[in-house]
Structure 1
């Protein structure tokens, strides 16, 4: 008879972990108790009838050729805002992550991570509202808002990726006389670049959605068209803008997913 393979004993859950889980559950319960959630009013017959009547106003979408041409122009503007904002964020995030990963000392690490925390803690809409004062209405302010917020996100993700990267390859090169910069470029960076590019593509997906919303504060693109037509109760035109947003997000999501899967393989 063959000896039975004994499985290792599962590690016991630490007290701090149990306390954290209990705290999260209590926080969720307290959130439901403190909020006045009127589910009965939301699903009442009057609310449902009002919602159906409102949605009927969007049908049929506006399909006139001049209006579709404006939609196409706004779609390209939204796509350009997200692409340029993500590209700028990737460049600045890559620069800041070198300091945030602790490669230049603990003091610079703490300072840089503090800056990244501030950049990503302020939402894109708030950045856009602030920048509109200096840059004026249009896509320029929206692009800068996306770039600033995404720099904070990507800088943190890039720094964590570098910190979690196994140091053996870089250390081997440095022990053999290779300069630290060259060892980083030829050992650590190639190992981390697929994960970093995956983060960039994922944030590009998010920035497409954010760019479509930034127009609400006057930052151009499809969002600005949507706000304009909704404010005038032009529901047929607003329906076309919403459809364009959905199609743009679907196309970018599919493209980004295909690129991420190809790179991670």
Structure 2
């Protein structure tokens, strides 16, 4: 008598994923259909000629010693804004991430997560526009703007990292008589610290770019220099500032990548 092998039934099809994909494709198609995209005008002879003349105006970059010294100081100011803003955001993110992770109860968790949503939903430029009115023009308002937005981002990431940490080591320490604070610092925090440092370095990279842009609204640094020279159509000086931005971002990206590699070994 033959034994018939029973084939396993195929898993049920997840129609939710399919519906989401169809909706996403429909949104993309609707976006292209609703926006007045003039691709043909972009590749006309006049458009190409105008773009070529604009780019030719950037050459050669300004290389006089006084201007290079001024650009170097602006670069240092941009770096300082991003570093200090990130540091303040890390402190605030840790302070807000603890209650947002639910370690102090569900009531504080809901309230703090709502605060984090507000902080990170407001872009850096909007924060800078608000804070520059109170703090005045200069890097101080830009630094606070970076700190406010980044605190919302890091606070949420830190809270998720704490929530996803394995509870076993901390519970073991608590069972053996350790206090709640000691169990957290010796069991949970070491688990999440590499991930938190990785998030911090990534946000520092983003803040370098954001600090350069915030100068457009008067927050100092390279962005303010770029806006000034572009408004006066001083393209050669603007080219030097743009090169300084590119070099700064490249250096910070390389340093951050090296630090992340060292942390994951």
TM-score by length of 2: 0.95
Are 2:58 and 1:62 aligned? no
Q: Structure 2 unaligned runs (5+)?
A: 1-7
Q: Structure 1 unaligned runs (5+)?
A: 1-7
Aligned to 2:137: 137
My pick for the range that moved more, 176-185 or 49-58, is 176-185
- Counterparts of residues 21-60 of structure 1 (less than 5 Å): 21-60=21-60
State whether residues 195 and 264 of structure 1, in contact with CA within 8 Å, keep that contact through their aligned partners in structure 2.
Answer: no
TM-score by length of 1: 0.95
Aligned to 1:182: 182
Secondary structure of the residue aligned to 1:193 is: helix
My pick for the range that moved more, 13-22 or 39-48, is 13-22
- Counterparts of residues 1-265 of structure 1 (less than 5 Å): 11-265=11-265
CA, structure 1 residues 261+26, in 2 after alignment: closer, same or farther (shift >3 Å)?
same
State whether residues 92 and 155 of structure 1, in contact with CA within 8 Å, keep that contact through their aligned partners in structure 2.
Answer: yes
State whether residues 82 and 204 of structure 1, in contact with CA within 8 Å, keep that contact through their aligned partners in structure 2.
Answer: yes
1:125-147 CA-partner distances (Å, limit 9, x unpaired): 00001111100000000000000
Cα distance in 2 between the residues matched to 1:44 and 1:255: 42
Question: Post-superposition shift, 1:11?
Answer: 4.7
Aligned to 1:5: none
CA, structure 1 residues 177+80, in 2 after alignment: closer, same or farther (shift >3 Å)?
same
Give 4+ residue runs of structure 1 displaced > 6 Å after superposition.
Answer: none
Q: CA RMSD in A?
A: 1.2
Aligned to 2:4: none
Question: Post-superposition shift, 1:15?
Answer: 2.1
Cα distance in 2 between the residues matched to 1:19 and 1:169: 41
